[in-house]
Chain A
Amino acid sequence: MTTKAHVDRAMLLHLYREMRRIRVFEERCVELYQAEKIRGFLHLYDGQEAVAVGIMQALAARDAVVATYREHGQAIARGIGTDVLMAEMFGRLEGCCRGRGGSMHIFDRATRFYGGNAIVGGGLPLAIGIALADRELERDAVTACFFGEGAVDEGEFHESVNLAVLWQLPVLFVCENNLYSMGTPLEMAEAETDIHRKAACYRLPSESVDGMSPLAVLSAATRAVEHIRATGGPYFLECRTYRFRAHSMFDAQGYRTREEVALWRRRDPIPRLANWLLDNALGKAGELEAIETAIVAEMDAAVAFAERGSLEPIDALERFVTLDEVPA
């Protein structure tokens, strides 16, 4: 197989725009958190954007996505509107989950986005089942399952990876290794820190990829998805990345140095791609500025949408605890 991701100027600009949309959305979230418009836990994706954007670009509309509690990036890159996302952060009726899920539990039927799972490792068994259903119902779909390297500590990771290989299910496992499971460095949690080797020992085709490069991720994801569609079996990508900000909004970051964060910030995928576009004369004058202006307008509109959103009536509190029918 020699197929590569088709990367042209339009694609590069698209990757840039998508990463930037995620970054700006989350910058707004921080401001709104400080203004107490958004509450609860807020886990920012800042630094890891290349992973979600690169992977999503390799998926088709019929594919499925399972993500974690740090899933704003996946949700935006998958195509969920920033307006309904922001309304969800505000706990509004107009939010994608009518305010019941919040930041950690984004679901969207239209894009086959199956959460937003805030139990580390909890999404992996679900991804197995979704992939099994897709295969049995002959949907020719891939389930992309995102999780952090902390999930590798969990039994559910090992059980699920084994099942995916045993049953040859179309799952793309995407491990976003940002080196810290909350405040615990990888080497304090794992005897084998080379994560893709764990997948390999389950006979799962696996590779490690530079998670700070959207092109590297896109290229690997394209290869992986192609392998999955051709064989029906799973594939494992370890994306080596870094989160620039705290684990959530309540984190003094005593577990890592400022110097380490600064070093990784130099690899920030967004300015790197911007500079590369400009250096190679691929970004026309004013083009990136125009993208920025459009993103600012989009996020202004999203915040305004959330601000004028309504509250679910208390009478509807218990609605959806059980359903009267399976949604069509």
Chain B
Amino acid sequence: MISRRDFLQATVAASAIYGASGVGNWAKLAAQQALTQDDLLKFDTFGNVTLIHVTDIHAQMVPIYFREPEINLGVGEAKGKPPHVTGEDFLRMFNIKPGTPEAYALTYLDFVALAKAYGRMGGLDRVATVVNAIRADRPDALLLDGGDTWHGSYTCLKTNGQDMVNVMNALKPDAMTFHWEFTLGSERVREIVEGLPFPAMGQNIFDKEWNEPSEDFADYEIFERGGAKIAVIGQAFPYMPIANPGWMFPEYSFGIHDERMQEIVDEVRAEGADLVVVLSHNGFDVDRKMASQVKGIDVILTGHTHDALPEPVLVGETILIASGSNGKFVSRVDLDVRDGRMMGFRHKLIPIFSDVIEPDKDVAAAIEAERAPYKDELAEVLGETDSLLYRRGNFNGTWDDLICNALIEEREADIALSPGFRWGPSLLPGQKITREDLFNATSMTYPNAYRSEMTGETLKVILEDVADNLFNPDPYYQQGGDMVRVGGMGYRIDITKPQGERLSDLTLLKTGEPIAPEKTYVVAGWASVREGTEGPAIWDVVENYIKRKGTVHVDPNQSVKVVGA
């Protein structure tokens, strides 16, 4: 008899062979300039339940360019495993040909040339078209939003997230979990959540004072779909008060709480759930570990680390789905759920090619209505870039190099620090930089750019601390961002070493001299989690710099030497 585990593995293998999983078999069609919406949506409806997953949209309502990372290193058990596979290795692993739309959507290779050929991606009006098409196949499909939705754009900042709430509500999600939403402040989050027409969930959102599960958020919801009971359990970002300013949501505590996750899985099973889905903002590696710790989860819809994978990752009997970021992809997962078990699945990561997928008229109008009051500000041109500007990468991205250069020049600093965020779309060489573009890379509720003095020893301690949040071999001790970006200083990092021993050869670039532990340096940075941080908003600092330069240029960053990758 074929065991369930074997069956699932066979399904993954078969789906790879027959193209029933992955991004689809449309590369040739695109090469013939004949890629159509029908090709992108083609899916042989399977089983009796459909999940639609979107996550980490970061308020990108209109199509954008988004370059996937060149460097995304895994450590410990995650080394060399998806999502820690990039570029040509990624193409080989998933059998994708270079230069195809899949290669453009999923890797950084030839990004500028392919971006010009295949155009922008995403746009919530296109996402709506895909969601509606799936619902036409399966009217009771569940649409699940993994969070980082109400953050990341000019209009989202100006409306305190209302623009995204309005547009997402038009897509009719069935549940949502959270991360950056909390940087709107807990009062605003509660105000929005009270009015949401679907459950806001996170089993790991605790009342801080009592250290008990918060009553403001649901742990889970049970949906009846296709004759089965589907439990969807929420898991918010576990390290909210550490990675973001805890003083903005002082009533809440988070954490992973996998003992409680196990209790809830057992509870929903006891209530008759045939399928258990976790809607997670843990980050992929944390989810991979959680799948091995908690028994009885069928599907984890991962989020936070912005990974896009054309095939599910299997951990024991749990499948992990990674649906990308910034509205670039939608995952469709069809499941055969019978007799209290998941018997099989079919999956597709649908890339949202904005020039191929027709915008949904209603949602396009809703987006336009949100943007109209800010039209002139959004379109205001601040300058131009002659370099590709992108953010993703473990150690640097050109957008952050630009921000660091601006901080050093505008704030007269020796060294600049820019947080290792993974949000923020890309700009192609020759593109105008508009106010909208600048806010897509900097928008937040704690934007103050500090200027401070730090000793060389303090700088090393900070970098070691952040490096451990990225390269600790136990994913439960990782926070899921990238390394803090450093301007004006170079370093060598051995990612295999323990905390305190990873960094060496810290060098002040302007003099070429080693950073002296006891010496004091002027450091400029932004997005401090500390309350009361003073300084101008980062977007003002960068705007001044861009306007002064007219055309900005970013040299390739060669100041970080990586060892042990």
Is this pair of chains taken from one and the same complex? Answer: no
- Which A residues fall within an 8 A CB radius of B? none
- Which B residues fall within an 8 A CB radius of A? none
